[in-house]
Chain A
Amino acid sequence: MTDHELIWRIAGGSGDGIASTSQNFAKALMRAGLHVFTHRHYPSRIRGGHTYTEVRVSDEPVKSRGDGYNFLLSLGDSFARNPSEGAYYGNEEIKPLSENLDELVEGGVIVYDSGLLDTDEIENFDERVEENNWHVYDIDLRTIAREHGREVMRNTAGVAVTCAIADIEPDVIKSLMSDAMPEKILEPNLEVFDDAYEMVQEEFDVDAPDISVPSGEHDEEQVLLSGSDAIAYGAIDEGCRFISGYPMTPWTEVFVIMSQNLPELGGISEQVEDEIAAAALAMGASHAGVKAMSGSSGGGFSLMSEPLGLAEITETPIVLVEAMRAGPSTGMPTKPEQSDMEHVLYTSQGDSHRVVFAPGTAAEAYYQTRKAFKLAYEYQIPSIVLYDQKLGGELSNVPASVFDEEPNPDLGSVLTEAELADAPHDDSGKYQRYQHDTENGVSPRSLPGQKGGRYLATGNEHMPAGHISEDPDNRIAQMNRRMQKVDSIRAELDDDGEFNTVYGPEDADYGLITFGSQQGTVEEAADVLNENGHSVKVLGVSELMPFPKEQVSEFLDSVDESLVVEMTASAQFRGLVQKELGGYGDVMSSLLKYNGNPFEPADIVEGFETALLEGEELPDNRTKFVPKVGE
């Protein structure tokens, strides 16, 4: 982290209001003209258990959570159970303090709620404080909160203390509180805020720590968005008015946002019995002429494998989102990983194809969701937005201009009744909906209820009017036409050239390649490596199928060697590159992380300098280095 940034970590128990407090804090600072980025860490339980959110604040654009942090607000876990030493979850009560010390940088600040936490219970606390030159503020936040309102307001007290120490203008926060809180609780919260703020000013030497929030100014309006928000809004702007789903972390976030917004837009949301039904409903709605979406995470997406193939062979447009979490099976529900990649690319029987995007940022998630709809409806093919728990949940500021493009309700390749009257029909009057001889593989469809458009959609191989057939020539023609659509899409995406991002000096010696949510972190690592005297550039790939062969091979050819960075245990993405390009295994090494946490820039710097350049073992097992083929 740089000198002029604040990385503020608020820690407590799940259910203690950590997420909403940090979101408001981030939004207030964004309003004050700064760049923000949040990172969430939470366990798979509802109440209690160690959780924290980091808010990184800088006057310059930020792309990741950064390395370490410099300000800890430790609230205590008010839902802690089993506070005995030998218990499985350990001494939970003190975790919001004890668990967070390792990553706090030298000279950092600790504010803890002395109403709930006792530092005597933390091993070597005083020694560590002294060693690291930490500044400690023990404040009974709980009591301050109780005096004016309720205990939960200790979050507000903690934020006020942060403002006093980090020199943040209180009005920045207070005006946001007025926007975010209902009248009834606003007053007591403001009282708690003022009380805590004044108390720090009076009782502590606030000038001691060298931590303050910089000032900044945006050149255009910003909004604070998560990847999940971005996906939902992309879908809405593309005219999606039907969502069906079944809850599963972390996809639920998109499902919830859509369900809350669609009725207001005259759309329909359906929570159904399982994921097979969810995908099938989206397909049924789309077949009948509505833009529709569904989605899930790992296990739920497994169930969607079946309807996915049906959508492909019946050429029903459908957009699915897949929010990756650590697997196999139920895995780690609240932890990010990218290991559903192969599953999403290849699931479903037969030679099946789809469009798969893996956006790298919130803005890209918005654009690519829109593109996913455009391609799905134009080419009548399933398209999938593949992201992960990290991108879905982290908040960052995005410029307003991202949302400039007009809404697009166009259903794509659908004929009107007038066009249907002139279209070819078979003897029985059925529309030849799956004609062979089309230019780009797309054979326009009709919608049930349109006069003159009836046909049979079927998951069996079929003739142009939809009749089931195992005729070999027809089979080849239909298969080729469906595959031709993928080539047409590849050509369209290559022409756009919008999504795969190259970053860093053009003539660099080394490449860092990644996909999806790790893009920003890898770019920050490249900045550090270049500052350290190396010569590195980055390729963030966000089109997985069809794969951007030309762009990736050009990048690989332009450097001596590349390090592929991904959150999988079996180097899936590197495998994809090799499969698609038919080689390059001898110039790519892998850096993998699959411990439940996303990469931090320092992981990549370390992997590059230690393992790739020096050929030495990594100092711990947080990440894993896999050398290039033949070594």
Chain B
Amino acid sequence: MSAFSAIGEETEKDQNEFTPGLEPQPTWCPGCGDFGVLKALKGAAAELGLSPDEMMVTTGIGCSGKLNSYFNSYGFHTIHGRSLPIARAAKLANPGLTVVAAGGDGDGYGIGGNHFMHTARENHDITYIVFNNEIFGLTKGQTSPTSPMGHKSKTQPHGSAKTPLRPLSLSLNAGASYVARTAAVNPNQAKDIIVEAIEHDGFSHVDFLTQCPTWNKDARQYVPYIDINESDDYEFDNTSRAEASEMMFETENALHEGTVLTGRYYVDESRPSYQQEKQRIGEMPEEPLAERYFDDSYEWERSYDKFLGKHK
């Protein structure tokens, strides 16, 4: 029998499975967009029939980083910016796990930007949700990489002189095979997108617009959003890299001009995941590595028999 019997086990379609009882209650501010992510993730996990014990959610540090404190699964609340490398390795060690990484825009696009770029490039089969509230929440409202130009905060009293980062374009160009944007103000779309992202075999990047009513009252994310996949005004083929890229470019500007557009921007089902590539070139076992440590019949080879011939 597998040492990881929760993997593949179906649960009932009930998101309470993913609510950890009375304790602990979320400490997010009233009206915070982070509640929307939690709800969408619970809904998606329930819809997918996942078992809480087969899911692993890694987070960084920030208000957003507390996601897995309130989500009932295995969790690794890591350090600022480092949710991705830990998620990647857990998935490589045990590909049966459903691995979701999450964190803020500061966490993921700032301090963890290098990991973000490389995880997308390698196309690891994990889902990455970035709580994009265009601000540093937990450290009390400093300008973040996605804050608009001219944004004033205590650390940028004269207004930011930097253009905001374009997360969708960035991950598309780095190599992510699923790129979407959704928003806490549209719970149904958010849930559907997370379902798709988890099901997608490769790196799924979900830029999740979350309002921060405490520190970022000016953010445009309060205005009603448009679903680009449903509007005739924004017709494009989201399996075409070029068209997706063009659409991202346009709408990433529009966000700061007051139009919030969300939806699936890029979906590439043909690109093999990193794990598949690694198995193809013979650098990763077909069976989950973690299972091997429980397999009594497996013969562990000694370095002496295997490699020391060349030292004799």
Which residues on the B side are within 8 Å of A416 (C-beta)?
Answer: 3
Asked if A452 lies at the interface with its beta carbon under 8 angstroms from chain B, I say: yes
B230 at the interface (CB under 8 A from A): no
The number of A-B residue pairs with CB atoms under 8 Å apart is 232
Whether B86 pairs with A290 at a CB distance below 8 angstroms is no
Query: How many angstroms between the C-alpha atoms of A306 and B86 in the bound complex?
Result: 13
Q: Which residues of A contact B89 (CB under 8 A)?
A: 242, 244, 270, 280-285, 288, 292
Give the shortest distance, in Å, between B41 (CB) and chain A (any CB): 15
A residues in contact (CB < 8 Å) with B:
27, 31, 221-225, 229, 232-233, 236-237, 239, 241-242, 244, 261, 263-270, 272-274, 276-277, 280-285, 287-292, 306-307, 310, 314, 400, 403, 406-407, 409, 411, 416-417, 426-430, 447-460, 466-468
Bound-state CA distance A563–B97 (Å) is 55
| Best-surrounded residue of B115, B290, B292 (most CB of chain A within 10 A) | B290
Contacts of B52 in A (CB 8 A): 454
B94 to chain A, nearest CB (A): 5
Stretch of B77-85, B148-156, B161-169, B206-214 contacting A (4+ beta carbons < 8 Å)? B77-85
Min CB distance, B74 to chain A, in Å?
4
> How far does the Cβ of A433 sit from chain B's closest Cβ, in whole Å?
10
> Are A454 and B93 interface neighbours, CB within 8 A?
no
Given contacts A242-B93, A284-B86, A417-B5, contact A457 B76 (CB under 8 A): yes
Per the bound structure, the CA–CA distance linking A428 and B302 in Å amounts to 44
Contacts of A447 in B (CB 8 A): 3-4, 94, 290
Q: Considering only CB atoms, which chain A residue lies closest to B307 in the complex?
A: A261
Docked complex Cα distance between A314 and B78 (Å): 9
Contact indicator A288/B72 (Cβ below 8 Å): no
- Chain A nearest CB from B287 CB (Å) reads 8
Q: Smallest CB-CB separation from B6: which chain A residue?
A: A451
Residues of chain B with a CB closer than 8 A to A267's CB: 285, 289
6 shortest interchain CB distances as A-B pairs: A284-B89, A449-B4, A428-B21, A428-B20, A289-B290, A280-B85
Assuming the A-B contacts A233-B308, A287-B76, A427-B23, are A276 and B85 also in contact, with contact meaning beta carbons closer than 8 angstroms in the complex?
yes
Interface size on B, residues (CB 8 A): 67
Residue interface bits B96-132, CB-to-A below 8 A is 1, else 0 = 1100000000000000001101100000000000000
Which one, B55, B88, B293, contacts A281 given CB within 8 A? B88
Question: Contact between A237 and B21 (Cβ–Cβ < 8 Å)?
Answer: no
For residue A489, give the distance in angstroms from its CB to the closest CB of chain B: 22
Note all chain B residues with C-beta closer than 8 A to A277.
82, 85, 114-115, 118
Q: Are B303 and A236 in contact (CB under 8 A)?
A: yes
In the complex, the answer to whether A241 meets B292 with C-beta atoms within 8 Å is: yes
Q: A289-B293, A448-B74 are in contact. List 5 more A-B contacts (CB 8 A).
A: A284-B88, A284-B90, A400-B308, A403-B302, A449-B290
For A400, what are the chain B residues with a Cβ–Cβ distance below 8 Å?
304, 308
Segment of B176-184, B197-205, B217-225, B276-284 engaged in the interface with chain A: B276-284
B79 and A406 contacting across the interface, CB-CB below 8 Å: no
CB distance from A398 to the nearest CB of B (A): 9
- Given A237, A449, A456, which contacts B75 in the complex, CB threshold below 8 Å? A456
Q: Which of B27-84 contact A (CB under 8 A)?
A: 51-56, 58, 61, 66, 68-69, 72-79, 82
Contact residues in B for A290 (Cβ distance below 8 Å): 93-94, 289-290, 293
The answer to whether A268 touches B92 (Cβ under 8 A) is yes
Q: Which of A224, A269, A280 contacts B283 (CB 8 A)?
A: A269
Cα-based distance from A427 to B282 in the complex (angstroms): 45
Q: In the bound complex, what is the Cα–Cα distance between A460 and B4 (angstroms)? A: 27
Check if B293 sits within 8 Å of A268, measured CB to CB. Answer: no
Residues of B within 8 A of A236 (CB): 303, 306-307
Q: Is the CB of A281 within 8 A of B86?
A: yes
Whether, in the assembled complex, B158 has its beta carbon less than 8 Å from a beta carbon of chain A, the answer is: no
Check B302–A454 contact: CB distance below 8 A: no
By a CB distance below 8 angstroms, the chain A residues around B292 are 241, 266, 409
The residue of chain A having its C-beta at the shortest distance from the C-beta of B54 within the complex is A449
Q: Does B185 contact A (CB under 8 A)?
A: no
Report chain A residues within 8 Å CB of B88: 281, 284
* Min C-beta distance of B116 to chain A, whole Å: 10
Interface centre among A283, A290, A427 (most CB of B within 10 A): A290
Chain B: minimal CB distance from A302 (Å): 15
* Given A266-B285, A451-B6, A310 contacting B72 (CB threshold 8 A): no
Residues of B within 8 A of A224 (CB): 311-312
Q: How far is the CB of A402 from chain B (nearest CB, A)?
A: 9
B3 adjacent to A417 (CB under 8 Å):
yes
